[in-house]
Amino acid sequence: MNATRMLDKLPFTGLIREIITVGLLELAKSNIFESEKSELNERVAELMERMSNQVEEYFSEISSSKIVLNDRSAYFIKTKRLIKWYGEGRIPEDYIRLMIYVLRGTSNLLKRKKIDFMDSLEKVQVGREVILGEKFNNSLAIVPAVIKQAEFYEFQHEFLRPTAGEKPEILLDPVWFALMAIGFLRCFAGYYGGRYYFITKEDIEAILDIPEKARMIHDAIIYLAVTHTKMKPIPYCEELYELKLSYGLASSETVIPIEVYPMKIYEISLVGNAYTCTRTMLLDLTESTNYLKAYINFLHSMPQISFGIETKDSNYENPIHALLDLAEREIQKPVQGDNSMLLLTFVKDLYRAIHTGRPSLIEETLLRLLRISHSILTSKGKVNLLLKNTVNVFMYEPHLSAVIHAGRR
């Protein structure tokens, strides 16, 4: 069974294709495609059931937006597309729970031999609509609004525009919807500030039939998505965004091999009444993660000294951890008495110094921050307590040594 050949039939690119590809990646890393045809349905059903149980626990305290009216109507109320597949039952309220619902429902259909995994994957029809799979109980489902995208799909000299109505461009059967659900849950990197974030990787079709490489990329997507969900970086500023995400990887000792980069992130926002792809970025966090790992390790080599910063409302492991948050706050609401974005400027300078690989630039950046720190500590005006405490610890000589030493790794 050649997963790459199946993806070659898809006439669209972008987030939907990448999410489906990650769904196939989940199967590839488990050697599903090496199964005998007689075992395939059972193995896929078991994987879907096992994954639905795992992600249900992981997502128990993680939210997403409620299912929009058009999707809810199509799936459960008006045309009842999913009820025709899976039968009556508890209706999921948000998109995360929807994906878990689809996984369990499709797993059950495969176990009962109501549908066939291979037959569905091999059927892709392209016309005025793109149909993935085949009708089950005379029903196909629309793509969920949150990943339908506002970008155009070009095919056969036509631009197929995403719609909000009952005649969408892409229709799915239970197997293809379940693959999309797997990809959605693996790529999901948080929903906060009214925005969704998804981590994917372009052009991974070629490694789907190489289980070892499939596992490496699969794990990297999950590690980065989990870290992104935890750290909640906001891409106001690319340098700050990457450093905050890199800090999350470094502090959790997560290793992402250099060869899996670049990774891709999508930001999806509700613009008017439609979910829209408002930002995409390609990420390579190798240099910044390595620097921050060296920095954290150097601090840990001095266990007798505490570098943490605590206030009534905040708790940070070290000054750089705190400064990244303070710089983010500075963008949202400038620190009182410091309207020139000095902390953000320091973060940008540190980012550039890390990526040039020149320790002298880190020392110059450090000197600029020390001048800022001195003015903050000697200010007669009201100074944010977290900022003051952070600056105090930052200027401590052993900490300065860690900042410089990490740049000489």
For the residues 199-228, what does the mean pLDDT come to? 92
Residues 276 and 324 in one domain: no
Q: Residue 137's domain spans which residues? A: 3-283
In 3D space, the residue among 170, 146, 27, 168 whose CA is nearest the CA of residue 97 turns out to be: 146
Q: What's the one-letter identity of residue 354?
A: I
> What per-residue confidence (pLDDT) applies to 377?
75
Q: Which stretch of 12-26, 272-286, 302-316, 371-385 has the lowest confidence by average pLDDT?
A: 371-385
Per the structure, the count of domains in the chain is 2
> What per-residue confidence (pLDDT) applies to 37?
84
Residues 196 and 73 in one domain: yes
> What per-residue confidence (pLDDT) applies to 408?
83
* Beta carbons of 56 and 104 less than 8 angstroms apart: no
> What per-residue confidence (pLDDT) applies to 6?
77
Residues 336 and 209 in one domain: no
Residues 247 and 362 in one domain: no
The total of other beta-carbon atoms located within 10 Å of residue 191's CB is 20
> Residues 168-207: pLDDT tens digits?
479 999 999 999 999 999 999 999 999 999 999 998 988 8
pLDDT band at residue 338 under the 50/70/90 scheme:
very low
What does the alpha-carbon distance between residue 88 and residue 98 come to, in Å, rounded to a whole number?
14
Please give the DSSP secondary-structure letter assigned to residue 133. Answer: S
> What per-residue confidence (pLDDT) applies to 236?
87
Domain boundary among 283, 314, 343: 283
Domain boundary among 241, 259, 283: 283
pTM of the prediction? 0.91
